[in-house]
Amino acid sequence: MPMPVALLVGALLLATVSPVALAFPDRPITLVAPFPAGGAVDIVARGLADAVKKHLPRPVVVVNRPGGAGTIGMAEVVQARPDGHTIGLGAVAVAAVQPHLTALPYRTPDDYVPIMKLVTLPVVVFVRADAPFRSAGDLLEHARAHPGRVRVGVPGLGTILHLDLELLKQMARVDMTVVPFEGPHQIPALLGGHVDVALAHPAPVLPHVRAGRIRVIGVFQEGRHPLFVDAPTFRELGYDITLGVYYFLVAPRGTPGSVVGVLHDAFRKALAEPAFVELAHTHRFDIDYRPGDEVRRELWASYETLGRLVRQLGLAKP
């Protein structure tokens, strides 16, 4: 007796699915957050782990592995068994900057599997409300007239925010003095008059903007930020610098494509869960989904551009 068409189609579809994918996951998935609990990476990781629950048959357990500016946790992921049960939350600086600064078990974006891009945190430039710089143009003009006199607070050397500033200095041909802080301590330093300008992400800046203490004068991203619509992008001003901090999901190299597909599909659905959308809104993250192949290309571009820059700045290892 011939098999019914519906059963035949189902059997054929089942035959095309990898046995590995059918068995995955067979135990809880560890999601490594390479920074301490309570920070932005940890908040995103735990929000994702909660949002993905209904889309995977096993739970996702967040494990914090701080240290080495994120490289300890990233190294744990890239050296894990490539079966999809250990994945990580990667950050652009950990992937594209740190390999130029120190010897690591990974170097280029070909040493791991980017699964998908998750969120972006834009970078804003701001001054005190009573500052003489009314705009980014004013700031750059003043810096040209007074080389080295403008002090700019950044959250650490070699961070994306620091490197955005260095790119601006190069493109605009201005000399400004970089003052590194353990972020976000550059904000109280600005309010206290210890620096003239600072860079940060929107969330810690917004309360001070609303209180009238701080004015945002520029944004490093492709379009104007909806919270600071009067602040132009630096691209508008003629300086094509749009790199923000972004986080992506990463697996060890050699993880089967079928397993990567299961993870990709589940976490993409998690990004659209109302609870995660609300979390992103609360903490001022921009949900910025990109598939793995696009993430790899973006990481390679960042790796090459930022690698040249850290070498020019003398930050790279010998």
Reported as a single tens digit per residue, the pLDDT across 130-166 is 999 889 999 999 999 999 999 999 999 999 999 999 9
The residues, any chain, with a CB within 8 Å of residue 124's CB and separated by 6 or more, are: 199, 200, 201, 202, 205, 216, 218, 219, 220, 225, 228, 231
Judgement on whether residues 87 and 154 belong to the same structural domain of the protein: no
Same domain, 259 and 183: no
- 103 and 250 fall within a common domain: yes
Asked whether residue 167 is assigned to any structural domain, the reply reads yes
Amino acid 61 reads: V
CATH number of the domain bearing residue 273: 3.40.190.150
Q: What is the CATH number of the domain that holds 135?
A: 3.40.190.10
For residue range 258-300, what is the model confidence (pLDDT) as tens digits? 999 999 999 999 999 999 999 999 999 999 999 999 999 999 9
Residue 229 forms part of a structural domain: no
> Per the domain annotation, does 236 fall within a domain?
no
pLDDT at residue 183 in the model: 73
Q: Does residue 235 form part of some domain?
A: no
Last residue of a domain, one of 220, 253, 269: 220
Q: Are residue 212 and residue 261 in the same domain, yes or no? A: no
Residues 127, 216 within the same domain: yes
Residues 110, 145 within the same domain: no
Domain assignment present for residue 8? The answer is no
Q: Quick one: how far is CA 61 from the chain centroid?
A: 21
- What does the pLDDT read at residue 13? 47
CA angle 204, 193, 173 (to 5 degrees): 85
- Quote the domain boundaries for residue 298: 26-120+244-312
Same domain? For 53 and 200 the reply is: no
Pair 77, 147 in one domain: no
Instruction: Decide if 287 is inside a domain.
Output: yes
Give the per-residue pLDDT at 267.
Answer: 98
Q: Which residues of the chain have pLDDT under 70?
A: 1-22, 318
Return d(Cα 31, Cα 243) in angstroms, integer. 25
Do both 35 and 93 map to the same domain? yes
Please check whether residue 183 lies inside any domain of the structure. yes
Q: 157: which strand partners? A: none
Same domain, 109 and 248: yes
For residue 107, tell me if it sits in a domain: yes
Domain tally, the chain: 2
Q: What is the pLDDT of residue 93?
A: 96
